[in-house]
Amino acid sequence: MANLRAIRKRISSVKSTQQITRAMKMVSAAKLRRAQDGINAARPYARKMREVVQAVAGRAGSDAHPLLTAREAKKLALLVVTSDRGLCGSFNAGLSRAVYRFLNEHRGAYEEIALFVVGRKGRDFFRRREIPIRKEYLGVLGAVSRHHAETIANDLIGGFLAGEFDEVQIAFNEFRSAISQIVRFEKMFPIALESSGKTGGDDIDYLYEPSREEILATLLPKYVQTQILRVLLESVAGEHGARMTAMDSATKNSVDMISRLTLKMNRARQATITTELIEIVSGAEALKG
């Protein structure tokens, strides 16, 4: 009977967990729809912003602003975007492991790699491995805003202009679908200029008002902020998609587990009944003798 009670207790525990995972799946599904709307609105704007920067800065030249000037990459700043919460499959672990491999593979290529980490999961991952973190940003993906993107962009741009690092890259999960997020590494700046011939506008020139330097001084930081905001929105959508998929799998696994435990419970009950019947029959036969 003790074994039967343990099975019943376990079935009850699994059913309670199933209710939680089903509720979390529904919440993530609702949040995913809003996050998809956000990233679908942000991507065209970020793409057009990139085209504008390429068109204006490409004609101004790489010496028009420090964010366009390439240096010998001795010091790297790497922004890693993870989430604050878990229960989203390999969303955080896959990215953190990819960054960890990147750090090991490029240890000799850079004199120093400064980590800027968004999210508790990434922070905890690198802390456990005693990897120094220059700055951490917590509670960002819970309510992404342009203010968050501006804060992060200002920290990275300020360090770059001060000569603290020569190159800035960002590592994040790019949202493809609810079941697919791709780990991406992108170079933020120095901003690489493409050939103007690709746009078909070689015969077009610009008049700068108030001046080329002032326009780029305003435009380029806004461009960096826009790209970081897009990345944060990509991560939000990816997190909810990964959590919805993970909770759906957990719910399905709980159904299978309840079925197996129910079968095991019924067998244990039958065995108990059979044992009791045998004891009754044996006692009756002993009385007859």
In which order are the strands placed within the sheet that holds 180-189? 135-137, 112-118, 75-81, 167-177, 180-189
Please count the other Cβ atoms lying within 10 Å of the Cβ belonging to residue 40.
12
Distance, C-alpha 40 to centroid of its chain: 17
172: closest CA among 141, 197, 210, 200?
A: 141
Burial profile 162-175: b = 16 or more Cβ within 10 angstroms, e = fewer: eeebbbbbbbbbbb
Please tell me the distance from the alpha carbon of residue 164 to that of residue 110, in angstroms, as a whole number: 13
Give catalytic residue positions: 88
Q: Is the Cβ–Cβ distance between 246 and 179 less than 8 Å?
A: no
- One-letter amino acid for residue 258 of the chain: I
